[in-house]
Amino acid sequence: MTRPREPLTRRADGTTGPGPLPPPPGGVLWTLVGDVRGLLMLPSALALQVAHPAVGAGVDEHSVFRTDPWGRGERSLRSLQLWVYGGDAAAEEGRRLRRLHRTVRGTDSRGRRYHALTPDYYAWVHATGFPVHRHAIRYLYRPFTEAQERRLYEEWLRVGRVLGIRDKDMPGTIEEFWPYYRKVLADELEANAVVRELVATDLRLPPPALGPLPLRLLLRLCWPLILPRFLRLRRFLTIGLMPPDARATIGLPWSDDQERRLRRFGRVVRAVVPLLPERLRYLPQAREARRRARAEGRWSPVRVGRRPTPRRAG
């Protein structure tokens, strides 16, 4: 099998050379990111990102998440898919995002000046995905082995390079990650206005303008009934799939009864989703990338999650 061609990227000195490559076909992220279960994790990662004062202020002052929530979510999801499945286009998407954030600056809730591309802040936005995935897969997939967790982190670092995050700005190993993560929790995170909005159950959220016209009309008609239930489910999953130490730091309440309900929900998801055909289980960009990788002979999937332990007879 030939080694995939590395895309060229422009360096600071004006020359060009090999750029960062996304994770390889069949890797852990190729299994996780395009799976429909990944949609359930995204609100937790977003809430953890914006709990940082600088990130929260940037989203509060510059994002269209209030005026165009569904469009913003769709664009973010397409971007995320490119980071993993985009091949040569992944590095260009990383550069596009950095260009997009050049003008995002202001003052955070603690009176500190911020810029979206400040290395610490930009790295934190990316870093949040790892602890959220690690926690959420315990409910939505089978628990990872230690080796699988390490591979997940290695692939997460690789995606970080695609986004233009320097190696020195992200912990290089999983052992170095946890002290970094706990320090940010202790020193920075807060329950700011954006976090509260992301878990609110009384928002006036418009119906999504997605799909064919009959579906959009039906959604508009039924939205007064759907919206309260959707917001309650979003709050439940946002808080429940967030790592416990993070939600405690931010001050998001979580009860034993809610934990039991989340575990029951997870059992249903783990039973149903693996039975779905690939066209329903994976998002379109992921599905097409997986099909193309198989056709080109670049597909060597890794197992995700521990093998179930056989029950002993008797």
Tens digits of residue pLDDT in 68-109: 999 999 999 999 999 999 988 999 999 999 999 999 999 999
Q: At 245, give phi and psi (nearest 5°).
A: -65, -35
On the question of pLDDT at 11 being above 60, the answer is: no
- pLDDT at 14 (0 to 100): 42
Average pLDDT of the segment spanning 215-233: 95
Question: Is residue 203 a contact partner of residue 67, using CB atoms and an 8 Å limit?
Answer: no
Query: At 143, is the pLDDT very low, low, confident or very high (cuts 50, 70, 90)?
Result: confident
Question: Is residue 61 a contact partner of residue 106, using CB atoms and an 8 Å limit?
Answer: yes
Chain mean pLDDT for the chain:
90
Does residue 8 sit in helix, strand or coil? strand
| d(C-alpha 62, C-alpha 154), whole Å | 31
Query: At 310, is the pLDDT very low, low, confident or very high (cuts 50, 70, 90)?
Result: very low
Which of 29, 93, 36 is CA-nearest to residue 283?
A: 36
Region of residue 251 (phi > 0: left; psi between -120 and 50: alpha; otherwise: beta): left
* Own/partner long-range contacts of 90-93 (Cβ < 8 Å, ≥24 apart): 90/7, 90/20, 90/21, 90/22, 90/162, 91/7, 91/9, 91/19, 91/20, 91/21, 91/162, 92/7, 93/162
Q: What is the bridge-based pairing of β-strands 105-107 and 8-10?
A: unpaired
Exposed/middle/buried for 257, CB within 10 Å: 0-12, 13-18, 19+? exposed
Q: At 38, give phi and psi (nearest 5°).
A: -60, -30
- pLDDT at 83 (0 to 100): 95
What pTM did the predictor assign?
Answer: 0.88
On the question of pLDDT at 314 being above 80, the answer is: no
